[in-house]
Structure 1
Amino acid sequence: MKRRIFLYNAVVVIVALTALLIVSGVVIRNVNDHYLQRPPLVDDNVPKAQQTMTEWIAAPSSWEALSGQLQDLGYSLYVSLRGAEVYSSMAPIQIDLLHQLPPSISWPAGEPAPLWMGGVLVIGMRSGPYTILAMNEPNMPKVFGRQRVQTEAVLLSVLIIGATAIVVIVLLSMLSTHFQLKHILRPVNALTDAARRIESGDYSHPVDYKGQDEFTAVCAAFEHMQQHLLREREKNAAYERARTDLVAGISHDLRTPLTSVKGYIKGLRDGVANTPVKQKQYLDIAYRKACDMDVLLQRLFYFSKLETGNLPLFPVHADLGAFVRGFVRDTAGELEQRGGEFLIKGAPAPHPVRIDTEQMYRVLSNLTDNAIRYTGTEALVLTLTLWRERDMEHLRFADNGCGVPEAHLPHLFEQFWRGDQSRGGQAGEGSGLGLYIVKYIIEAHGGTISARNDGGLVFEIALPCEEEESHA
């Protein structure tokens, strides 16, 4: 755009100067050519005019009579007395030419003498106190309605040239401004149209501008913003669909255990469980189903806190190895009831970290629950391996299942994502929040978590080492 504006302005200046030079040359040349034309040096009426003026001196009459005789010969009369005009039949141009006569000129007394000046012939003499001059008609162009001397004609020519140049410059400037505005407004109009489309919810059309100037980057940034808004809208739409699916899934997942709880309680109330053994069995089943509902509600509760940013952390100094062993000790019995077991590997060296023990307990619980639901093996083995690498403490949580398709690995930690059918789970199980909550808690501790297939599904957690931070 800068180059285009500079080019337009340069063209305007060059064209205006060229027009000025052309007009100046034409006008000045015509004026000079006309003024340089000379009448014949020999005028047949010169002797007659001299004789008429001489005879008038011998027998003076009125100035009008002398003027009439000279006009018959093509001359005009001018009479002055000691420099003051007494009589004149000359035209304004002839008066202007007389004023150009040198003041030092001395006319002879009683003998008319001719004087050639700038294209006219002046015959002059003195008669007593009077100065009598006769001048033929000057051969000069008419400028603005009358004949003018060369200096005046040149001055008017310069004025004409200047006025012409001004008109040309103004016209060229208007033309240049029109084209510049046309080029400048093209991307502006394209951005305006795009903004209106976005306002109306249309993100599908790109910004219609293909120029190569400063506006190209602006239009590209606007296009990038439009694509980002489109992706965000699609993502939000997907989230809304996922929320709807979540509500439907939670409703389904809650309905099943709730129906079971109601059925077994009704069996107790109606006396179907008429022995102590049956009553205990009914109560145990109702309790487990109620615990399943509590897990679902707790996940919804945690998700609500995550969405609003109201999940507080209360980190304390802890040993990651001791924490993992404590978790295994608390949950090993429940896992054994489901046909699984824990294995802990790693050096007994200390693994100091700063964690919120309640939230980290939930992390391991969600990973365990995920493995129980989706591993797809009867003899489940969960292997927890601890090690330290540089300033990070690592925990490897691996199962012995069939893993997940590689295409699903990047989506495991997305909220509402339910790829359970690929890992042997049944449709409708899970809320799609367990691993999302895990990732949120780990990152809130300043750590990272990743997933990969290695003889089953493997989660690797890395947390900052507390000793490294204290010595930093």
Structure 2
Amino acid sequence: MKRRIFITNTIVVVLALVALLLISSEVIRRVSDHYTSQAPPEEDPGAAQAAELLESWEDSGGWQELNLQLEALGYHLYAARDGEEVFSSLSPLQSDLLRHGGIPASWPEGEAAEMWNGAALLVGIQSGGYTLVAMSRPDLPEFFGQQRPQAEASLLSLLIIGAAAILLIVSLSLISTHFQVKHIMRPVNALADAARRVEAGDYTRPVGYGGQDEFTAVCAAFEQMQHHLLEEREKNAAYERARTDLVAGISHDLRTPLTSVQGYLKGLRDGVASTEEKRAQYVDIAYRKACDMEVLLQRLFDFSRMETGSLPLSPERADLGEFVRDYIRSTEGELAQRGGRFVLRGAPAPHPVRIDTGQMGRVLANLMDNALRYAGAEPLVLTLTVWRGGGTERLRFADNGRGVPEEQLPHLFEQFWRGDASRSGKNGEGSGLGLYIVRHIVEAHGGTVTAWNDGGLVFEISLPCEEELYA
């Protein structure tokens, strides 16, 4: 845009100056040709009579009488003595022509002579110490209603040309400015219209400016902003729907174990459990249901701290293989009670990492809980494989269940997301937060987590190697 304005203004000025130069040269040439084309008359009868009058003049004054006689012949008198004017009946134009044309230093003594100065015929004589000149009426073209000398006509021509050039420059500038403003206002108006649409809540219509200038980037940035706002609005709408679903889901998830706890405690209170074995069974079931509620509330608590950026993370040096073995030892009894078992592979070699063992334990707990709820395998087998690959430490967590529909895999780690069959699995509860928390904790450690189907659902966690990052 700046280059276009600069080029346009330069072209306007150059064109105006070129036009001024060409027109000035042509006008001055024509004026000069017109004046230089003036030729003396071939024969002027009055010139001879004027010469006789000047030759018969005696040094006794009588300028008025001589002038009247000359005027009758079409001439005017000019008299000087020692270069000082003593009488003149010349018009201002004749005086100017005489002054610029010059008077010969010496006229013939006692005998008149003729001279053509380009505009008038001069008849002069030296007599008695006086210089007498009879000048005919100038034969000059009229310029603006009157006869003018060449210099004056040229000056007036230049002034007129200058005024015309100024008018031309102003006119071209106005025309150029009009088109430039029109061109500039196109994207400005397009942006203003787009801003009004955004204010009205319409983020779908593009700015619609197809130019290639500085405004192109601005319009592209505005459209990118619109796209971002549209995505944020859709994301917020989906987020709000998910929150609504979460409230309903939490109500269901808490109600189910709470109802079981209340039922079994009521059975104990009412004596339904009449034997020690049955009472122990009731207490055990109530305890497990209370633990389920604790897990759900812990996930909600963790989610709240993640949303506020206050989830604690205290990484320390650890061996990933040893950490996995410790986790299996501490939870294999619980998994066995729920009909499952662990299989550990590839762990013996050193696998140095820097992790928060508490938070990573929560990752494995969430993955195990997800498998217990949705794998649908009898018996459930969880295979954990630890190895080093590509400069990172890897942990694969796989079950032998039914997997997840391929179209649902990209959504597994989204907050509040639940598949269509999320409540048909074992125990039926699910907050839609477990795998979201898994991804958040793993990424907080500088790692990544992915999922795919391979004879069941497989999660692969990749963590930075401590030897490479902290050596």
TM-score, normalised via structure 1 length: 0.91
Distance 1:288 1:138, change over 3 A: same
* Matching residue's letter, 1:161: I
Query: Within 2, Cα distance between the matches of 1:170 and 1:426?
Result: 86
Q: Report the equivalent of 1:52.
A: 53
Please tell me whether residue 371 in structure 1 is matched to residue 371 in structure 2.
Answer: yes
Instruction: Give the secondary-structure state (helix, strand or coil) at the position aligned to 1:57.
Output: coil
* Unaligned 5+ runs, structure 2: none
Deviations 1:193-250 (A, max 9, x none): 3334334433112112111223223322322232122212211221122122111211
* Matching residue's letter, 1:249: G
Instruction: Give the secondary-structure state (helix, strand or coil) at the position aligned to 1:45.
Output: helix
Distance 1:469 1:121, change over 3 A: closer
Q: Report the equivalent of 2:136.
A: 136
Instruction: Give the secondary-structure state (helix, strand or coil) at the position aligned to 1:461.
Output: strand
Instruction: Give the secondary-structure state (helix, strand or coil) at the position aligned to 1:397.
Output: strand
Q: Report the equivalent of 1:352.
A: 352
Please tell me whether residue 398 in structure 1 is matched to residue 383 in structure 2.
Answer: no
8 Å contact kept, 1:383–1:397: yes
Deviation at 1:90, TM superposition (A): 1.2
Query: Within 2, Cα distance between the matches of 1:341 and 1:165?
Result: 98
Query: Within 2, Cα distance between the matches of 1:392 and 1:100?
Result: 103
Q: Report the equivalent of 2:225.
A: 225
Deviation at 1:85, TM superposition (A): 2.4
Please tell me whether residue 294 in structure 1 is matched to residue 294 in structure 2.
Answer: yes
8 Å contact kept, 1:401–1:456: yes
Q: Report the equivalent of 1:184.
A: 184
Deviates more, 1:404-413 or 1:342-351: 342-351
* Unaligned 5+ runs, structure 1: none
Deviation at 1:104, TM superposition (A): 5.0
* Matching residue's letter, 1:40: P
Deviation at 1:143, TM superposition (A): 4.0
Query: Within 2, Cα distance between the matches of 1:319 and 1:117?
Result: 118
Please tell me whether residue 82 in structure 1 is matched to residue 82 in structure 2.
Answer: yes
Deviation at 1:79, TM superposition (A): 2.1
Q: Report the equivalent of 1:456.
A: 456
Query: Within 2, Cα distance between the matches of 1:64 and 1:469?
Result: 122
Q: Report the equivalent of 1:303.
A: 303
Query: Within 2, Cα distance between the matches of 1:136 and 1:469?
Result: 112
Q: Report the equivalent of 1:250.
A: 250
8 Å contact kept, 1:264–1:286: yes
Deviates more, 1:177-186 or 1:400-409: 177-186
Q: Report the equivalent of 1:91.
A: 91
* Matching residue's letter, 2:224: H
Distance 1:89 1:230, change over 3 A: same
Q: Report the equivalent of 1:28.
A: 28
Deviates more, 1:61-70 or 1:131-140: 61-70
Instruction: Give the secondary-structure state (helix, strand or coil) at the position aligned to 2:231.
Output: helix
Identity %: 67
Instruction: Give the secondary-structure state (helix, strand or coil) at the position aligned to 1:77.
Output: strand
Please tell me whether residue 67 in structure 1 is matched to residue 67 in structure 2.
Answer: yes
Instruction: Give the secondary-structure state (helix, strand or coil) at the position aligned to 2:67.
Output: helix
Deviation at 1:289, TM superposition (A): 1.9
Query: Within 2, Cα distance between the matches of 1:450 and 1:212?
Result: 43
* Matching residue's letter, 1:132: L
Q: Report the equivalent of 2:115.
A: 115
Query: Within 1, Cα distance between the matches of 2:408 and 2:423?
Result: 10
8 Å contact kept, 1:374–1:420: no
Q: Report the equivalent of 2:209.
A: 209
Deviates more, 1:310-319 or 1:454-463: 310-319
Instruction: Give the secondary-structure state (helix, strand or coil) at the position aligned to 1:421.
Output: coil
Query: Within 2, Cα distance between the matches of 1:55 and 1:67?
Result: 13
Q: Report the equivalent of 1:238.
A: 238
* Matching residue's letter, 1:307: E
Deviation at 1:288, TM superposition (A): 2.1
8 Å contact kept, 1:405–1:422: no
Deviation at 1:457, TM superposition (A): 0.5
Deviation at 1:447, TM superposition (A): 1.9
Query: Within 2, Cα distance between the matches of 1:405 and 1:121?
Result: 117
Q: Report the equivalent of 1:167.
A: 167
Query: Within 1, Cα distance between the matches of 2:333 and 2:153?
Result: 120
Instruction: Give the secondary-structure state (helix, strand or coil) at the position aligned to 2:348.
Output: coil
Deviates more, 1:372-381 or 1:127-136: 127-136
Deviates more, 1:400-409 or 1:212-221: 212-221
Deviation at 1:406, TM superposition (A): 1.5
Query: Within 2, Cα distance between the matches of 1:347 and 1:322?
Result: 8
Instruction: Give the secondary-structure state (helix, strand or coil) at the position aligned to 2:45.
Output: coil
Query: Within 2, Cα distance between the matches of 1:104 and 1:88?
Result: 17
Distance 1:150 1:239, change over 3 A: same
Instruction: Give the secondary-structure state (helix, strand or coil) at the position aligned to 1:404.
Output: coil
Query: Within 1, Cα distance between the matches of 2:38 and 2:151?
Result: 16
Deviations 1:269-319 (A, max 9, x none): 344445444433333332222211111110000001111111111223322
Q: Report the equivalent of 2:430.
A: 430
8 Å contact kept, 2:352–2:467: yes
Instruction: Give the secondary-structure state (helix, strand or coil) at the position aligned to 2:121.
Output: strand
Query: Within 2, Cα distance between the matches of 1:210 and 1:118?
Result: 67
Query: Within 2, Cα distance between the matches of 1:7 and 1:152?
Result: 38
TM-score, normalised via structure 2 length: 0.92
* Matching residue's letter, 1:38: A
Q: Report the equivalent of 2:38.
A: 37
Query: Within 2, Cα distance between the matches of 1:241 and 1:319?
Result: 41
Deviation at 1:427, TM superposition (A): 11
Question: Number of matched residues?
Answer: 470
Query: Within 1, Cα distance between the matches of 2:53 and 2:103?
Result: 26
Deviations 1:64-83 (A, max 9, x none): 22222211211111222333
RMSD between aligned residues: 2.5
Deviations 1:8-48 (A, max 9, x none): 23431343134214422442233123312224231121112
8 Å contact kept, 1:370–1:434: yes
Deviation at 1:337, TM superposition (A): 2.1
